[in-house]
Amino acid sequence: MNLGWKVHLLALCPRSTWQKTMYVLLLGVDMPFASPHLFMQLASVLKMVGALICVPEKNGNIEPLHAVYSRKVLPMLIDFVGRGGRSLTEFIKWRRDNVEDHVQKKSIIFYRYGPKRYADSSCDPFFNINTMGEFEYFENYCKKGI
């Protein structure tokens, strides 16, 4: 299969990493307030339920770069990319919407996140730095030592 430009999505999950462990945590490098407690909870839910993906959901939006994945997802991700898929959000929605088996639909856990659920940070764990304004906010936060 010629993946061409699509390799960037697969770069998130090198096969060597997926072969060494049962679960993989994906974290956006621009998320300075990521929550270790939330990751532990996601991994616990994933393992307990036997699902393939446990992704936080906040205000109707999913956070695929603050989620835990089973290594069993890799072949599905490769298939998705081969079909033209371009993002993890699209992949999760594609799995949810195109799987006919009800049991397989349960392979994705949408974990509702509320602000009082984890007190390990006063900041939104899904905050990311994409603009100069967001960078300045983060810089001021660090200077204040809050």
Sequence spans of domains, the chain: 4-144
Give the C-alpha separation, 63 to 27, whole Å. 9
Give the C-alpha separation, 128 to 108, whole Å. 24
pLDDT band at 6 (very low <50, low <70, confident <90, very high): very low
- For 109-146, the pLDDT digits (tens) are 888 887 555 445 567 888 889 899 999 988 988 888 65
CATH class assigned to 4-144: alpha beta
- For 94-110, the pLDDT digits (tens) are 877 766 554 455 688 88
3-state secondary structure of 83: coil
- For 64-75, the pLDDT digits (tens) are 888 998 888 888
Describe the crossing of helices 74-82 and 88-98 by its angle, rounded to 10 degrees. 100
Using alpha carbons, select from 118, 108, 94 the residue that is nearest to residue 54: 108
Q: What are phi and psi of 85, to 5 degrees?
A: -65, 145
